[in-house]
Amino acid sequence: MVFRIPCGQVQGRCPRAFTELLIGSYEADPRTANEIKAKRLRDRITNKKGKVTEIRNRMRKAREKWNSLFPIEEDPWWSPALARIDELQCELATMELEYQSLLNVETP
């Protein structure tokens, strides 16, 4: 009975949709903001490490299957792949420093 007016307002904004408002509660996330940031950053670090490994594995397989007259290092796609790995490792290093700083903020 209490929620009929708010439900009517929502129904007025969305006349074709089924509207239902319920009473409920939820438990707030007990983690602090720094813990949440650290978790997200840790996930991004893991993702970045996986990407570096993926590119390195592709390059290793390409080197094993290389059968051209010229060395693989002279191939036009080789140097951009090396540059991409260097870029990812640089980003990874900065993320890990940021992660360590977040952990140091939490511990004292």
More confident residue, 90 or 67: 90
| pLDDT band with cut points at 50, 70 and 90 for residue 106 | low
Query: In angstroms, rounded to a whole number, what is the distance separating the alpha carbons of residues 29 and 81?
Result: 41
Instruction: Write out the two tokens for 75.
Output: 């191939």
Alpha helices in 28-68 (DSSP H): 33-65
Say yes or no to pLDDT of 25 above 70.
yes
Query: In angstroms, rounded to a whole number, what is the distance separating the alpha carbons of residues 51 and 92?
Result: 11
* Per-residue CA distances from 28 to 25, 33, 106 (Å): 9, 12, 20
Measuring CA to CA, which residue among 29, 34, 28, 31 is closest to residue 108? 34
More confident residue, 16 or 85: 85
Whether residue 98 contacts residue 41, with contact meaning beta carbons closer than 8 Å, is answered with yes
| pLDDT band with cut points at 50, 70 and 90 for residue 92 | very high
Say yes or no to pLDDT of 3 above 70.
no
pLDDT for position 38: 92
Average pLDDT, the chain: 86
